[in-house]
A and B are shown apart, each in its own frame.
Chain A
Amino acid sequence: MTGPPAVTTTREPLEPELERRVRALEAGADAGSDFDAASWFWMVLLGIVLPAALLVWGWFG
C-alpha cells in the first residue's frame, strides 16, 4: 500500500513579522508542546470516566 503522491508546493512570501514568527515555530523551540501522557490521563479521567460514573449514579442511584 502506498501513500498519497508527493506534491510540489510553492512558498508564499509572508509579512516580515509573521515570517519571523513562523520561522521561530518551525525551528521548534518557540512552539508549544502537544498533549503528553499526563494530559491524556486527565482527559480520560475527567472527560470519560467521571461522566460515565455520574451517569451510572444518576440512573441507578
Chain B
Amino acid sequence: MPKTREAAADTSVWPLLRRERTWGPWRLGLALATAAAATWCYLIGGYAGNYLNFFQGSLALTAGSMIGMLLVLLAAGPICIRFGIESVASTKPQFGSKGWTIPALMQLLSIIGWNAMLLIFFAKSLTQLLSVLDWLPPGLGAMQVIPFTTLFACAVVFFVLLWGASGITHLSNILVAHVFVGLWMLYLLVSRRWPDLIAAHPALAQPDPVWNYTTGIEIGICSLVSWWAYIGALIRMAPDGRNIVVPVMVGMGLPVPLLSLIGVAGVLVLKDSDPSSWLRNVGGHLYAIIALSFVAAANFGTAIAGIYASAIGLRNFRRLEKLPWLVVLLMTIMPVAFLGMFVPELVFNRFGTILALIGVCFAPLCGIQIADYFVLRRRHIDVRAIYETHPGSRYYFWAGFNPAAVIAVIFGIALYVYLLNPLTYESHGPYRFLTASLPTALVSALIYIAITRLVVMPAGRGGYAPRIDSEHAAATAPQ
C-alpha cells in the first residue's frame, strides 16, 4: 500500500500533526458510532434486563453509559487530542516510560477478547442468515461454521486496515446504517410485543429495588469505560478538543444504550438478548435477512476499529515501532483469529468474565489519568518526554515505573472487587448507592494524588518540577 510519509502517519504511534488530523465532527461521530454499535450492545442490554424492567433498564443504562463515556473522555481525551497520540501513549506521564506497558497489556487483552467475541457473533449471525436463506448444508451449526467465518472476517479486517485510519472512515460511512437498523429492530419488537414487554418481570431481580437500579447504572458505566482502549486511536484523527465532545458523547456514548434496549427488550420478552436468534420469529423472513446482514456487518465495523486501536497501541513497543504496518496488523489479528478458529466456545462462554474484568481494570485507570492531568500537572504535559526512555527523562520515575500509579491501580481493582464481585455480582458496602466504578475511580485518583504529593514530588521524579533545560516550557502548556 504506497503511502507518503504524512499519509502513513495514521499507522504510526508517533504524534499526528494538526494538518494530518482531518476528521471533522461528523466523520469522527460516524466512526465512533460504527465502532460502538455491535452485538455486544445486545448483550449489555441483556445483562441489565436481568435486573430491571424495560423502563428503568433503559434509563439506567443510558445514564450509566453517558457517565462512563464522560470518564473516558476526561481521562484519555485531553492528551490524545492535544498531541495526536493514542490511549496507551497518553498513560506515559502517569505510569512512566516503561510502566505504560501495564495499560498496554490491559488494552491488548481487552481488544483481543472483545474482538474474538465479536467475530464469533459475526459467525453466528452469518450462520443464521445462511439458515434463513436455506443456504446452510444440513447438520451444520454456528460452531462448525465459526472457524471459516472467523478466518474470512480476519482477512477482510486485515485488508481494510492496510489503508490505516482511512479504511475505518470508508467503512463507517456504510456501516453506521446499522444503528438505524438496530433502532428499527427495537421498534419491531416493542410495537409487536408491547403488552408482553410491559408485563415482563426481570428474571434475576433482587428484592432490593435500589440494588437493581444501581446495577443497571453500573453495567452502563463499566461497559463504556472499556472504550478507553479504543478512543485515543480515533479521536487523535480530529484536530481540536472543542470539536470532539459532542461526537464522542453522542456518537459513541448514545448508540450503545440505544442498541442495548434491543437486548433489554429481548431478554425480558423472549429470554434471549441476541436479535439474530429471534428476528425470524418476530419479523418474518425478509426482515430477518435485512437485519441479520446488518448485524453481521456491524461487528465488522467494531472489529476493524478495535484491531486498528490495538495495532497502533502495539507500536509503542520500540521493537515494533518501525516494523511494516502489514506485519503489526498481522501480529494483532493472529491472536483474534486463533481464538475464533480454535477455541470459540471457550471465548463465547466467558463473555461475562471479559466484560467484568475490563470494567475492573479501566475505572482506576480513568481516575488516575484525570487526577494527574487536571489536578497534579494542571494540564501541562511534556510531549517530548512521552517519547524519552532514558533514566534522566521526566517520565522515567523509578526504573521506568511510577509506583503511585501501580499502587493506585491495585487498590482500585481490590476496591472494585470488594464493592461488586464482577463474576458473582455479590456486593458490599456502599455499592447500592454509589455503584462500583465511580468510587473505584475516585479512590484510585485520591491514592494517586496522595502518593504523588508525599513521595514522587519530594523525590523530584515524574516531571512535576520545573524543568531547567526546557526551552519549550511554553509549549507544554495547554492551548
Question: Interface residues, chain A, CB within 8 Å of chain B?
Answer: 3-12, 14, 17-18, 21-22, 24-36, 38-39, 42-43, 46-48, 50-52, 54-55, 57-59, 61
Contact = CB atoms under 8 A, between A and B. Distances in A.
Interface residues on B, range: 35 or more
A43 B55 contact: no
Task: Kindly list the 5 A-B residue pairs having the minimum CB-CB distance in the complex, ordered from nearest.
Answer: A47-B70, A58-B59, A51-B63, A26-B475, A26-B472
Contacts, number: 174
Given A4-B465, A18-B387, A42-B249, A57 B475 contact: no
B475 A30 contact: no
Nearest to A27: B475
A54 B173 CA distance: 31
Given A31-B82, A43-B70, A47-B69, A18 B217 contact: no
Contacts of B18: 29-32
A54 B62 contact: yes
A9 B59 CA distance: 51
Given A10-B469, A28-B474, A43-B74, A33 B241 contact: yes
Contact of B475 (A31, A36, A61): A31
5 contacts: A18-B387, A31-B83, A39-B244, A54-B63, A57-B59
B241 A21 contact: no
A7 B460 contact: yes
Contacts of A42: 245-246, 249
Contact of B66 (A26, A32, A47): A47
Contacts of B463: 7, 9
A17 B5 contact: yes
Given A9-B467, A18-B387, A55-B60, A28 B479 contact: yes
Given A18-B387, A39-B241, 20 more contacts: A7-B460, A9-B393, A22-B15, A25-B383, A26-B476, A30-B19, A31-B18, A32-B241, A33-B242, A34-B82, A38-B242, A39-B244, A43-B70, A47-B70, A51-B67, A52-B63, A54-B63, A55-B59, A58-B56, A58-B59
Contact of B70 (A25, A28, A36, A48): A48
A47 B390 CA distance: 39
B393 A32 contact: no
A34 B387 CA distance: 20
Which residue among A22, A24, A48 has the maximum number of chain B CB atoms within 10 Å of its CB? Answer: A22
Nearest to B478: A34
B66 A50 contact: yes
B124 interface: no
A20 to B, nearest CB: 9
Contacts of B392: 9-10, 12
Contacts of A29: 18
A43 B469 CA distance: 37
A46 B66 contact: yes
B241 A34 contact: yes
A17 to B, nearest CB: 7
A16 B38 CA distance: 40
B70 A46 contact: yes
Interface string B437-479: 0000000000000000000011010011111111010111011
A17 B14 contact: yes
B432 interface: no
A32 B315 CA distance: 22
